[in-house]
Amino acid sequence: MAGSPQRPGDAQSAQRSTPQPAPASMADVRFLTVAEVATALRVSKMTVYRLVHSGDLPAVRVGRSFRVPEKAVQDYLQSSYFEAG
């Protein structure tokens, strides 16, 4: 809507939905299971599902399960770093 005021969360959701550049070949993409992502992040599988459903971690649905591109996990970790002190 052109004239409607923007809510604070709108900018973040628009930023999350920005398409990522495609890799040179889909054969180059390595997908991880939810369990593999949970192990790598040292969190529970439920936490990974919450990240996927909230849009913070992009994923592909394959049948009844999700697969997360390895690059998406790396990008998520990189964006989560902060300076302490």
Q: What is the pLDDT of residues 68-82, one digit of tens each?
A: 999 999 999 999 988
pTM across the whole model: 0.67
Does the residue 5 lie in any domain?
Answer: no
| Residue 80: CATH number of its domain | 1.10.1660
Report residue 85's pLDDT band, with 50, 70 and 90 as the boundaries.
confident
Q: Which domain holds residue 62?
A: 28-85
Report residue 84's pLDDT band, with 50, 70 and 90 as the boundaries.
confident
How many separate domains does the chain show?
Answer: 1
Asked if 67 and 83 count as a contact pair (C-beta separation under 8 A), the reply is no
Give me the chain's average pLDDT, please.
83
Does the residue 18 lie in any domain?
Answer: no
CA torsion sign for 71, 17, 9, 59 is negative
